Amino acid sequence: MRFGVSAGSLAPPGASVDDCLEVARLAEVLGFDSVWVDDHVAIPHGTVLPSSDGPEAAAGATQDLKQLEPLVMVNALAAATSRVEVGVRSLAAPYRHPAVVAKMLATADLFSEGRVVLGVGTGWLEAEFTALALPPDHFADRAIVTDEYVRAIKELWTNTGPSNFAGRFVHFEDVGTYPKPWRKPHPPIVIADRGAAGMVRASRLGNGYQVPTLSASELAAESEQLAATCRQDRRNPSEVELQMTAVVRISQRAIGGERPPLGGSIEQIADDLRAYANAGLGQLLAVPVLEGELDRTASRRAAMQLFATELLPAFGSRNGAP
């Protein structure tokens, strides 16, 4: 199993570029496999956003939310590291023209010598689509927009000559997009859109499929369904990595009774990770926290170190056994 961490979620609230780069450097030193950033462009004031600490009302807070631009941050993370993969966990595909995304990430992939990963989502916040002055059908048909944009990005990345694409939402002819990415045939694409449609998109267009936090039994069912979808598309299921995002809440002592997935003592979390590995999880995108600690910044750095020391060596990360 591989392990990634979120540079933004582990940095302090209102994180600066330096805060995120510090997390990335620490993640690399500790032996994590990847570092990720998230995507929001224009969050309307008063919007309720999901948070790693639970939902929080953005009224009075979104004006202070410093969500760094992910395509720029990927280059910054690459410059701060030398080994880990760097990527966008879930880029809202309809927000940006595919040629812009393809160009920026090809540049980042060259700069990082092949360490870029593109996570793709359809977007979910209609008010953000409106704030960006996107046509109404971009939200209503965002799954179709996403499919076309991903196909267009792959065309721009892989065609050795001028690129061409004709779709409902994007069209270009004889476009020269050079240079091409470092990694061949292209940087990995992870589909961050749970459900049957997301699985089809991952099978046909992606190299990975990302889900939110699930129990091990739920993840096993998801893994079986993903494998069946791949086989139906004549795709080898092993070519599509199953990923899950989760807050890992580390407690000083074991939690009795019911507990959340990946919450409890180190031994309980290790049991959970074994169950997830058996269920088919390929990579955990984690936000480690120390339960009960009030200082978020110190807590999350300490949680990263504890996770790396006590768990990475046992579960096949580069910090431990292969």
**How many whole angstroms from its chain centre is CA 248?**
16
Phi, then psi, of 226 in degrees rounded to 5: -65, -45
Model confidence over 224-257: pLDDT tens digits? 999 999 999 999 999 999 999 999 999 989 888 8
β-pair partners for 4: 34, 285
pLDDT of the residue at 48: 65
pLDDT of the residue at 11: 58
pLDDT of the residue at 276: 97
Q: Can you read off the two tokens belonging to residue 166?
A: 């004709």
pLDDT of the residue at 63: 42
Which one-letter DSSP state was computed for residue 254? P
Q: Which residue has the higher pLDDT, 298 or 174?
A: 174
Give the C-alpha separation, 296 to 226, whole Å. 36
From the list 317, 309, 311, the residue with the least C-alpha distance to 283 is 317
**Cβ neighbours of residue 251 closer than 8 Å, sequence gap 6 or more:** 263, 264, 265, 291, 292
Lowest pLDDT segment from 35-44, 288-297, 308-317: 288-297
Average pLDDT, rounded, for the chain: 88
At residue 62, does pLDDT exceed 90?
Answer: no
Amino acid at 319: N
Place of tokens 């510090």: 22
Lowest pLDDT segment from 78-82, 106-110, 177-181: 177-181
Mean pLDDT of 133-154: 96
From the list 76, 10, 67, 14, the residue with the least C-alpha distance to 42 is 67
Give the C-alpha separation, 310 to 230, whole Å. 35
pLDDT of the residue at 67: 76
Of the pLDDT bands very low, low, confident and very high (cuts 50, 70, 90), residue 44 is confident
At residue 319, does pLDDT exceed 60?
Answer: no
In order of their start, the domains of the chain are: 2-193 (3.20.20.30)
Number of H helices, E strands in the chain: 11, 13
Of the pLDDT bands very low, low, confident and very high (cuts 50, 70, 90), residue 15 is low
pLDDT of the residue at 280: 97
Of the pLDDT bands very low, low, confident and very high (cuts 50, 70, 90), residue 77 is very high
At residue 61, does pLDDT exceed 50?
Answer: no
DSSP string across 106-171: HHHHHHHTS-EEEEEE----HHHHHHTT--HHHHHTHHHHHHHHHHHHHHHHH-SS-EEEE-SS-E
Amino acid at 12: P
At residue 79, does pLDDT exceed 90?
Answer: yes
- HSE value, Cβ hemisphere, 13 Å, CA-based, for 68: 26
Model confidence over 145-172: pLDDT tens digits? 999 999 999 999 999 989 999 999 999 9
Q: Which residue has the higher pLDDT, 315 or 219?
A: 219
- CA-based torsion, 129, 132, 136, 138: positive or negative: negative
Of the pLDDT bands very low, low, confident and very high (cuts 50, 70, 90), residue 14 is low
pLDDT of the residue at 293: 63
